[in-house]
Structure 1
Amino acid sequence: MTLFILYLILFNLFTYNYFISDFKTLEIQENKDRIDLLITKIDDAITDAKNISNDYAIWDDTYEFIKNRNSNYIFQNFRKDSSTLEDLNLAFMVFVNLKQDTIYSNFSTFINDKKKFISTLLNSYEKEDKPTILKLEDIYFYVVKSNILRSDSTGEIRGYIYTGKLLNIKSLNNNLFKSIMIRDKMPNDFMYTKNSNFLPSIKVKNSFNDEFIISNLKIKDDLNIETHFRRDLYIKSKKQIYVFNTIISILFIALILIIYSYINYQEKRKYELKIKVKEEIDKQRKQEQMLIQQSKLAAMGEMIGNIAHQWRQPLNALGLVMQNIQFAYKMGDLNEEFLQRSVDKANMLTTNMSKTIDDFRNFFKPNKEKELFDVAKTIKKAIYLMESTLHNHQIQLEEDIEENIKVYGFENEFSQGILNILSNAKDAIVEKDIKDGKIRIKAHQTVDNVIIEIEDNAGGIEESIKEKIFEPYFTTKEEGKGTGIGLYMTKIIVENNMQGRIFIQDIPSGISFVIHLPNL
C-alpha cells in the first residue's frame, strides 16, 4: 500500500510538471508576442510623427517661411482658433533655422516655460540625432526631427522641424495587458532584448507571481515601462490538471480493487476445488494438477484480458478529458498549435500505457542480436501458445515439420511472426463458423531455401483485399478486435530482418501463407 501511495504521488507530480511546463512556455510566448505588439505601437507612433513632420518639412511654403517669416503661413496653418496639432494628434511643433534660432513654435500641451522647453528639446535631441522618446518637463514625448527642404529636394537645408507626440501610456496598452505603467526604478539583470525600428535595443526582464507575468521594458535609460500580463491560462490549466490527476487516481484505485477482488475470488475457487477432490487425491492427482494448471492459465488469461479492458476504458476517458481541455481553451487564449500538441501528448501517454499491457500479454521478448536457431523448435513454441485456444474452438492442428533445420536470424521475433499467422488463421475459422476447422503447418528445406507453409480451411481471402493484408493497420475484424499490425510486423520480421520473403497463395479450401528463408 505504501508503494501504491508513493506511485500515485509520483504520478501526480510527473503529470503536473509535464503539462504545466508547456502551459508556462505558452504564456511566456504570449507575453513576448504582446511585448512585440507594444514595441510596434511605439514604432508606429514615432513613424506617424515622422511622416507628419516630413510632410511639413518638404513643403515649399515652409521653406520660404523659414527665410521670410511670413505671418500668413502661420495664420493659414497655426492660427489661434485652429486645431491643427490636435487634429494631427501632436503635442508640439518647433521650427528652427540652421543657427537653432526658434522661428516658430506651437503647443497643444500646456508647457510652463516654453523657451526652456525648446532649449532642452534641442539639446536632448542633438545627443541622439534620430527619432526617439524624450522626457521633457516630466512628460514623455515621441520626438522626430526633419530637414526643411524644397518639395523637389533642391536647394540647401534652411532649418529643421522638431515634432513631438505625447506618449500616452493608456492608449499604448489598449488591452494588451491587464495594466501598464511607467516606473522610476530600473532593474539591472535583464533577460533578453527586443529590437525597435527607431530606438536602441529594448531590454526586457520577466518576473512571475501566481497571478501575473510582470515585465520591465527598458525603453531608454530614463524610461522603464512595466506591464502586467494576467496568467489566465496558467490559473485555468492548474485546475484542469488537478481534475485530470484526480480522475486517473480514482480509476487506478478502482483497477487495483478489481484485481484484488478477482484474485481473492480465484483463490477461493481453487480452495473449494481442492476440498472437493481431497478424498481422491491419490487416485486423480494427475488429473487434479491438470485442472489446477488449466484453472491458473484460464485465470491468468482472463485477468490479463480484464486488465487490458479496464485500462483502455480509462485511457479513452483520458482522451476525452484532454479534448474537453482543447475545446475550453479554444474559447480563451489557447492557440490551436499548442492545443493539438497537448492532445498528442495525452494520446502518446495512453499509447505507452496500453503498450505496457500488450507487452505483458505477449510472451516473447525481442532478441538484440541475430543467432542460429532451430526452425522446428521455434515453430513449436508458437504452436504451444496456441494449442489451448485452438482446442477450445475445436480447430485441428496438423504438423509436417522437418527436424534439424537451422536458419540465422531473430528467433523470438520469428516465433512471434508464426504466432501472428496462426492467430489470424484461427480468427478466420471462428468468424466464418467453419465446422471441422483445420490448420496445417509444413516446413522443409530445399537447396536454396527453408520453406514454411501455414494453411487453413477458412475459405480464402477476397480478391479485392489480397494486396492489402500486409499493410499496416489494415484489418477485416470488427473495431476493437484487431489492430491490423500483426501481418505487417510478420512481413517486416521475415523480409527486413531475416532477408526472406512472405506471400499468400490460394488452396482449394482456403489460403496458405508461404515463407521463404535463405539457407545457410
Structure 2
Amino acid sequence: MNLFFKNKYLIFIIFILYLITFNILSYNYFLEDFKKLEIRENKKNLSSLINKIDNNLQTIYNITNDYAKWDKTYDFIYTNNQQYIYDLFRNNSNTLHDLGLDFMIFQNLNYETVYSNFNKSYKLKEKKSDFISNLTKKYNKEEHATILKINNEYFYTVKANILKTDSTGKIRGYIFAGKRLKISSLNSSSTFNKIEVDKSKIKKINDFIKSQYLHKVGIYTILKDKNINSYLYFYNHNNEIKFSLKVSQKKDIYLKGQKQILIFNTIISSLFIVLLYILYIHTSYQDKIQKQLHEKVKEEIDKQRKQEQLLIQQSKLAAMGEMIGNIAHQWRQPLNALGLVMQNIQFAYSVGDLDDEFMQKSIKKTNTLTANMSKTIDDFRNFFKPNKTKEYFEVNKTVKKAIFLIESTFEHNYIEIEKEFSKEEIEVYGFASEFSQSILNILSNAKDALIEKKIEEAKVKIRVYKQKENAIVQIEDNAKGISEKIKDKIFEPYFTTKEEGKGTGIGLYMTKTIIENNMGGKISMKNCNDGACFIISVPISNV
C-alpha cells in the first residue's frame, strides 16, 4: 500500500480511469431505464389521444344511429316526405350545427342520395355530388366508423343502416354523417408540444395502440434532442395507411432522470475522492512517522527522549487508525441506506410508481445521508479531541433525524416504526450528531436482529419523554430479546453476536461512550415483552 501511494501519478491515472468508467457505465445503465419509462409514459399519452378520437367517433355514431333507427327516417327513405326535412333541418330545429356535424347524407340501398345537408359554416371545395361520391367510395372500403381524407381534409365519418326504431325490418338505406377533424382540437389539454399531419417518408413501426373504431394504429417513437417524437399510422382493414400524424412532446422524465443520474454520479465520485484522500493522508502519515522514527533511532543522543517520542507517535497513529475504523463502521450503514434509496427508485419505476414526489423524497434522503456521512468525519475527528465544544439541542428533533436516516431501510425490510414524541420541547446539552448516531446504532442493531430472526410483523417502538430532570429515549423491539448469558457484554468493545465480517462489535461501545462519558447520561438494556429494550437517560439543560 505504501509503495502504491508513493507513485502519485499512477494513483491519479487509475483514479481518473475509474471515475470515467464508473460514470459512463452507470450513466448509460440508468439512462436506459428512464428512456423506457419515458417511452411508456408517452404511449399512455398517445393512447389518450386515440381515446379522444374514439370518443368523437362514438358521439357521431350515437347521433347517426339515433336518426337511422327511427320510424320516421325509415318511412322517409321510401316516401321522400319533405315534412321530415322541414321538421328536422329548418333553421329553428335540430340543425347540423346543433348536432356538432358538418354533413349528413341520406341514401337508399342503391347509394342514391335522397337528401343531403351540410353545415353552413363548412365551405365545400367541390360540388356536393362529387364530395358525396368520394365519401361513399372511400367509406365502403372501411368496416367501422373511421377517419377519411377527402380533398386534403380529414373527416370523422360514420355510416349507419336505416332500420325501424326497434331495429326490425329490412335495411332501407344508409346515413352518412361526419365532421372535420381539426388537428388543433386533439391537443386541447396541451399534453403535447405539437401535433401535425405527417408528410415525411418514415414508415417504421415499433408498437401498436388499440382503438375502439380505428382498424389499427401503429406508432414509431424516437427520442431526439429535448423532444420525443411519435409517428401515428392509421390503417384501414386492408392494412393500407390512410394518413399519419406526427406528435411531439418534451422528454420531461428522461431529462429529469438524466439530471438525477448526474447528481448520483457526483455524490458517489465525491465519496470516492474523500475515501481515497483519507487513505492517502493515512499512508503519508505512516510514512512520515516511520521516517521520523528511523531518524530518531539512528540518533544516539538522549535515548530516553527518543523512547518518549516513539511512544507519542505510536499513540497518535493508534488514535488515527481507530478513528478511520470507526468512520468506516459508521459509513457502512449510510452507504447501505444510500444503495437502498437507489433500489427503491428502480423498484418504484418497475411498478409504475415513480413520480416527481417519490423522486424528490429520494433525493432529499440521499442528500441527508451524504451530508451526514461528511459530518461523521468531523464528528469522529472531534470525538478524540478533549476540547470539543458542546451545544444545546432538542431531543425530539435529533431522534427524528436518526429515524429519517434509517427509515427507508426499515420500510424495505417491512419493519414498522412506532413513534411517540414528547409534546414539549426537551433540550439537553451535549453533542447532537453523536447523540443522533447513538440512536442510529441501536435502531440498526434492532433491524439486524429482526431480520436475522425472521420476525413476522416486525416492529420497533420509540418513545421520547421527560422524567424528572432527565430526557428519556426508550427503544424497544420484538426480536425476542438478548440472551441472559451475553446481556452484560453487549457494551464491551468488539463484542458481537453477528457472523464474522458482518459486525465489528464497536457500535454499542461507541454509543455507551457517547452517552455516559461525553454527555453525562446513562444507557441500560433489559428484556421486556417480546424483545430488547434500550433506555437512554440524559440530563436536561436548565437554560
TM-score using structure 2 length: 0.59
1:63 aligned partner: 74
1:468 aligns with 2:531: yes
Partner residue of 2:277 out of 232, 257, 264: 257
Task: Indicate how the Cα distance of structure 1 residues 426 and 50 shifts in structure 2: closer, same or farther if over 3 A, else same.
Answer: closer
Unaligned ranges ≥5, structure 1 = 327-332, 355-385, 398-411, 435-457, 479-520
Pairs within 5 Å for 1:320-331:
none
The question of whether the paired residues in 2 share the 8 Å contact of 1:319 and 1:343 is answered with no
1:95 aligned partner: 106
Alpha-carbon distance between aligned partners in 1 of 2:501 and 2:18, rounded to the nearest angstrom = 33
1:179 aligned partner: 194
Partner residue of 1:72 out of 72, 83, 93: 83
Partner residue of 1:225 out of 245, 255, 258: 245
Pairs within 5 Å for 1:76-475:
76-79=87-90, 84-108=95-119, 109-111=122-124, 112-174=126-188, 175-220=190-235, 221-276=241-296, 278=298, 279=300, 298-307=319-328, 335=355, 339=359, 461-464=525-528, 467-469=530-532
Task: Indicate how the Cα distance of structure 1 residues 343 and 192 shifts in structure 2: closer, same or farther if over 3 A, else same.
Answer: same
Alpha-carbon distance between aligned partners in 2 of 1:161 and 1:41, rounded to the nearest angstrom = 23
1:47 aligns with 2:62: no
The question of whether the paired residues in 1 share the 8 Å contact of 2:145 and 2:213 is answered with yes
User: C-alpha offsets along residues 399-441 of structure 1, whole Å, 9 cap, x if unaligned?
Assistant: xxxxxxxxxxxxx976679x87x7689679868979xxxxxxx
The amino acid that maps onto 1:182 is: V
Alpha-carbon distance between aligned partners in 2 of 1:130 and 1:163, rounded to the nearest angstrom = 13
The amino acid that maps onto 2:321 is: M
Q: 3-state DSSP class of the match of 1:144?
A: strand
Larger radius of gyration: 1
1:12 aligns with 2:27: no
User: C-alpha offsets along residues 68-125 of structure 1, whole Å, 9 cap, x if unaligned?
Assistant: 1111211121125767111211111000112222110011222221111112222222
Pairs within 5 Å for 1:488-507:
none
TM superposition shift of 1:142: 1.4
1:501 aligned partner: none
CA RMSD of aligned residues (A): 5.0
The amino acid that maps onto 1:138 is: N
Bigger mean CA deviation after superposition, 288-297 or 151-160? 288-297
Task: Indicate how the Cα distance of structure 1 residues 292 and 86 shifts in structure 2: closer, same or farther if over 3 A, else same.
Answer: same
TM superposition shift of 1:173: 2.0
User: C-alpha offsets along residues 456-486 of structure 1, whole Å, 9 cap, x if unaligned?
Assistant: xx99842426x424xxxx86679xxxxxxxx
The question of whether the paired residues in 2 share the 8 Å contact of 1:322 and 1:343 is answered with no
Alpha-carbon distance between aligned partners in 2 of 1:154 and 1:127, rounded to the nearest angstrom = 26
The amino acid that maps onto 2:211 is: S
Task: Indicate how the Cα distance of structure 1 residues 263 and 142 shifts in structure 2: closer, same or farther if over 3 A, else same.
Answer: same
The amino acid that maps onto 2:114 is: I
The question of whether the paired residues in 2 share the 8 Å contact of 1:270 and 1:292 is answered with no
Task: Indicate how the Cα distance of structure 1 residues 235 and 89 shifts in structure 2: closer, same or farther if over 3 A, else same.
Answer: same
Bigger mean CA deviation after superposition, 228-237 or 256-265? 256-265
Q: 3-state DSSP class of the match of 1:130?
A: coil
TM superposition shift of 1:290: 9.3
1:492 aligned partner: none
The amino acid that maps onto 1:15 is: S
TM superposition shift of 1:190: 0.8
Task: Indicate how the Cα distance of structure 1 residues 260 and 308 shifts in structure 2: closer, same or farther if over 3 A, else same.
Answer: farther
Task: Indicate how the Cα distance of structure 1 residues 302 and 95 shifts in structure 2: closer, same or farther if over 3 A, else same.
Answer: same
2:442 aligned partner: none
1:442 aligned partner: none
Task: Indicate how the Cα distance of structure 1 residues 7 and 460 shifts in structure 2: closer, same or farther if over 3 A, else same.
Answer: closer
Task: Indicate how the Cα distance of structure 1 residues 151 and 86 shifts in structure 2: closer, same or farther if over 3 A, else same.
Answer: same
Alpha-carbon distance between aligned partners in 1 of 2:179 and 2:115, rounded to the nearest angstrom = 17
The amino acid that maps onto 1:257 is: Y
The question of whether the paired residues in 1 share the 8 Å contact of 2:162 and 2:174 is answered with yes
Q: 3-state DSSP class of the match of 2:140?
A: helix
TM superposition shift of 1:46: 0.8
TM superposition shift of 1:228: 0.7
The question of whether the paired residues in 1 share the 8 Å contact of 2:155 and 2:179 is answered with yes
Q: 3-state DSSP class of the match of 1:153?
A: coil
Task: Indicate how the Cα distance of structure 1 residues 339 and 152 shifts in structure 2: closer, same or farther if over 3 A, else same.
Answer: same
Bigger mean CA deviation after superposition, 305-314 or 113-122? 305-314
Alpha-carbon distance between aligned partners in 1 of 2:101 and 2:160, rounded to the nearest angstrom = 15
Alpha-carbon distance between aligned partners in 1 of 2:360 and 2:108, rounded to the nearest angstrom = 62
TM superposition shift of 1:272: 3.6
The amino acid that maps onto 2:177 is: T
Pairs within 5 Å for 1:475-486:
none
Alpha-carbon distance between aligned partners in 1 of 2:304 and 2:535, rounded to the nearest angstrom = 49
Alpha-carbon distance between aligned partners in 2 of 1:75 and 1:235, rounded to the nearest angstrom = 60
Unaligned ranges ≥5, structure 2 = 1-11, 236-240, 347-352, 371-375, 377-488, 538-543
Q: 3-state DSSP class of the match of 2:276?
A: helix
The question of whether the paired residues in 2 share the 8 Å contact of 1:322 and 1:346 is answered with no
Q: 3-state DSSP class of the match of 1:128?
A: coil
Q: 3-state DSSP class of the match of 1:462?
A: strand
